[in-house]
Chain A
């Protein structure tokens, strides 16, 4: 008797994605500690209090910035075949999504300003299901363009009503 498992998709995302995720998380994690640090420096009488606030906000923030990107890099993977798109994402909460190319409606590329800084692209493959989209983030520009081309080619070639 055999156990069945999902095998990880073939391709990893770009290594630069780690830097991108770190930058992204710093936007959420750092402002509050910075405010407390400034207050700590400029209001000496309340130092103990602001010191504690700084520690309480900084430690989890830094932990998040250190752990999340590395963990995501281990999980985020993708693969396209001639029949389907398969991608895994997440870190604490992980997802694996599979969509047959015969059901694909659109293939979009998306680059936010931060992603552009790191020369990264994201691809969204949508289907007729509002919760069925497959998102692959953190690809190199050229790789993304190739994937889009591959997908458009095969979605046209595969018969199906996409409904």
Chain B
């Protein structure tokens, strides 16, 4: 069987032959060994040939680990066979623990292609077939880890078209919904993750050097920086450090954006699926079935919001568990808000995105009081211990406490007010819309037919204020979307309106005799 043998068994589909993964996979596994070898070389260079015992043990165990990983990979390659029959995909693997898994074609919810850089060097990609079932058992997910690119594309096409031939195929005009516009890169530095990424990178570098017995603090250029730091005023040093971190963070987020979204395309395909293609080093292709799409989520993180940007996520079932869902639900990169809304409307086949609803019903004033209380609590928790320590130890801390109060109080109060103004809920045609968030605002439009139950909760303080949090449970996305802090009456009437009859037998009506008259 040659490496690139195209898969062609369409005629005798009843019992086709078992196929192997691509032979180039051997090279991929062997190339893993480059990592320990390179670190050997690096250590030899860094220490000038004098390797001490600890480094030797570290490197030795690294080598052994990689050898084990490589041989497991080799074994997997040698023992894995797959085939596609009339009605299912089958995968056999394992030497000691044989496994044989099969997925029925009409159960396939998604076929994703992912290629990491090493795979890409060898022109390989891995194909993941998902069934979108919630149970955490084997057999709901099947991965062909290492087929050639052409083969993967063909397999994907075949799996999806077979499935559609088996099930009911929806005929849609296929076409592009959105593709990359490089002016969007202006939003990239506004994602907060960059700063975290820089700190993580510095931390990792420090630890790695430390493990290799190189003390980073003793390196020449670090000492130079230290000396400079001592020669300028403290505030200036802190300012410069912050500036450098922010600039590095922005560069890092821009790089992440480029890597993640290079070649971005969102398209509607034949057979009622959406396909998101993206990625520079790791190319990703995510397929979302249209009938599994239960709505969309518009996310606006703080800085992104200030710049008028937003990103759009799908609320769909069958995207895997929480982590997988988080990675695969993205429909757009950070884009202008209007563009996100256009894509939302297009994806949901609506004239206008339900998340663009401007007249969301506001929440009662008492919800504002709860948020203000939280702001005051946070401020108090920081300021009071500082002040106490100041009274006990030194007046400098007392000044710090005053400064913290002066800065924190307006900031937290502004956040509280903003969080209150963000709260809103409403109904738009087939969708229930809810909006909340402090730092990141989230507007979720969830199909009302997609709601499969209510989770209503009320804390002690909420009950005292006559509020509740209404959770709509669904099989899609994050499984529960909440309308926070609505009055009991408003929340329950809203739930009844969203899903008629479900809650009705459990409600009772009492004449209003409280002061707080509610608005309809």
Which positions in A face B, CB cutoff 8 Å? 1-7, 9, 79, 81, 83-84, 86, 90, 92-100, 103, 127-132, 134, 163
Contact = CB atoms under 8 A, between A and B. Distances in A.
Interface stretch (B33-41, B193-201, B406-414, B498-506): B498-506
Nearest to A130: B479
Contacts of A128: 134, 317, 452, 475
A97 B509 contact: no
Contact of A97 (B455, B458, B508): B455
A6 B492 CA distance: 8
Given A1-B517, A129-B475, A95 B505 contact: no
Contact of A129 (B453, B505, B517): B453
A134 B463 CA distance: 21
B512 A130 contact: no
Contacts of A90: 457
Interface in B319-358: none
Contact of B453 (A5, A94, A98): A98
Interface residues of B, number: 37
Contact of A130 (B134, B458, B463, B471): B134
B502 A98 contact: yes
Considering residues A6, A9, A86, A92, which has the most beta carbons from chain B within 10 angstroms of its beta carbon? Answer: A6
A6 B468 CA distance: 11
* Chain A, interface SS category: strand
A117 B118 CA distance: 58
Nearest to A131: B480
B507 interface: yes
B457 A94 contact: yes
Contacts of A127: 452-453, 473, 475
B510 interface: yes
Interface in B488-520: 488-489, 492-493, 496, 501-503, 505-512, 514, 517-518
Interface string B451-485: 01111111110010000000101110001100000
Contacts of B474: 129, 132
A4 B475 contact: no
A92 B459 contact: yes
26 contacts: A2-B509, A2-B512, A3-B509, A3-B514, A4-B507, A5-B508, A5-B510, A6-B488, A6-B492, A7-B507, A7-B508, A83-B502, A83-B505, A84-B506, A93-B458, A94-B458, A95-B455, A95-B456, A96-B454, A97-B456, A98-B454, A129-B475, A129-B479, A132-B453, A132-B473, A132-B480
Contact of A4 (B454, B473, B489): B489
A4 B453 contact: no
A97 B517 contact: no
Interface in B338-393: none
B452 A99 contact: yes
A130 B510 CA distance: 34
A3 B212 CA distance: 69
